[in-house]
Amino acid sequence: MLMSTVPPADSTGAPPVSPVRQQPAPSGNGSAPPAPGDLSPDQPSRIPAHRLRRLLPYVVGALACGLAIRAGVRWYQLKQSQLPAGIVSGNGRLEADEIDIDTKFSERVAELHVNEGDLVHAGQPLARMDTRDLDAERRTAQASLLQADSLIDEMRADMRQQQSQVDLAKAELDRYRALVQKDYDTREDLDQRQQSYDGAVAALGAMNAKIHESQHARDAARHVVELANVNVRDNVLVAPRDGRILYRIANLGEVLPAGGKVFTMLDATSVYMDIYLPTADAGRVRLGAEGRIVLDAYPQHPIPASVSFLASEAQFTPKAVETKDDRDKLMFRVKVRIDSTLLHSYEGAVRIGLPGVAYVRVDSTVAWPLQLRGRVAAKSPS
């Protein structure tokens, strides 16, 4: 008897559904993609092994190339950083002396001729203060001077008239003296003529003294005019040196007290870099020692410089300065200044705050390394 393989029907009469899952059709490359239910939402998709094998040579080549470039750069840096025993170096930033442009009197700002960042030259007007009150004082002093001149001219005319009186009295005195000698006149008339002559001479002397006094008063009035002119000129604020305007503190129309700051400028003729050296290196540095400054922005242009300052006492290294020594070690500050005559060619390229390295030659018999012998460019780098 044959047994039926059909499963019995349920109570509804429908045959039961088989639990076997239908397999997807194979793909063309022989691998079947996973069914949607086989991967959980949190499980990342994986790159097939054949793709990894295909990308492996490229990854290895890129890593090898990166390592080679890094090793080459490191080798070049180590080669460049090797200095002879007679040359020391330190990191720092380019700095310049700051000059405050202040007012002399308490005045109102009338004009501003420059702005922040402008390059200015010595003697260039930067601002002008309101000088109406000083102009009035100057006109008063000039009027007093003219009055003193007129008074002196008047007194000199009176003096010439008085001189004629003296001459007349002298002539009469001589004539009466001759008459008395010949007994043509009395001694009393001669005494009267002598008295008149002495009075005229005394009056002439008094007028001469007054003229000298008036001349001193005129000189004082002239000095007052000169002082008024100086005060008016001092209210035109000019640049004392060549440099660049760093800050503009005051605005147009502001009333500033005496000594009020209008601008802060950087002296373009006094540019330097402060570096910090340990005791062993700082002890060999001498004032005037030759140096080089290499800025990070212009590594191919070493700038000639010289040592202009050595700290007499050791100090802790500021946090803003990076050195190869430990920060808790006491260091000496050394100022390496660029020659002012050289700065005229580089005034447009000088940027205060640029980081770099300053090199100092402590042994004059040691030659500069090749990378520090570079000739300074004829034109400033831009």
* CA 336 – CA 369 distance, rounded (Å): 18
Task: Note the pLDDT of residue 56.
Answer: 73
CATH number of the domain at 293, please.
Answer: 2.40.30.170
If 0-12 CB within 10 Å is exposed, 13-18 middle and 19+ buried, where does residue 86 land? middle
Say if residue 281 is in the same domain as residue 211: no
Q: Is the pLDDT of residue 229 over 90?
A: yes
Cβ neighbour number for residue 298 with a 10 Å cutoff: 18
Say if residue 109 is in the same domain as residue 252: yes
Q: Is the pLDDT of residue 311 over 80?
A: yes
Residue 174 lies in a domain: yes
Residue 293 lies in a domain: yes
Q: Is the pLDDT of residue 378 over 50?
A: no
* CA 96 – CA 270 distance, rounded (Å): 6
User: Which H/E stretch holds residue 238?
Assistant: strand 236-238
pLDDT in tens, 233-246: 999 999 999 889 99
Residue 48 lies in a domain: no
Say if residue 183 is in the same domain as residue 215: yes
Residue 40 lies in a domain: no
Q: In which residue are the tokens 């780098």 written?
A: 381
Q: Is the pLDDT of residue 100 over 90?
A: yes
Check: CB of residue 310 under 8 Å from CB of residue 279: no
Say if residue 152 is in the same domain as residue 242: no
pLDDT in tens, 196-217: 888 888 888 888 888 888 888 8
pLDDT in tens, 131-175: 999 999 999 999 989 988 888 888 888 888 888 888 888 887 787
Task: Note the pLDDT of residue 4.
Answer: 42
Say if residue 315 is in the same domain as residue 248: no
Whole-prediction pTM: 0.59
What domain count does the chain have?
Answer: 3
Say if residue 105 is in the same domain as residue 244: yes
Task: Note the pLDDT of residue 262.
Answer: 96
* CA 21 – CA 27 distance, rounded (Å): 18
Say if residue 126 is in the same domain as residue 215: no
What domain range is 366 assigned to? Answer: 78-96+269-372
Residue 45 lies in a domain: no
Q: What is 250-296 written as a DSSP string? A: --TT-EE-TT-EEEEEEEEEEEEEEEEE-HHHHTT--TT-EEEEEET
> Cα–chain-centroid distance for residue 138?
35
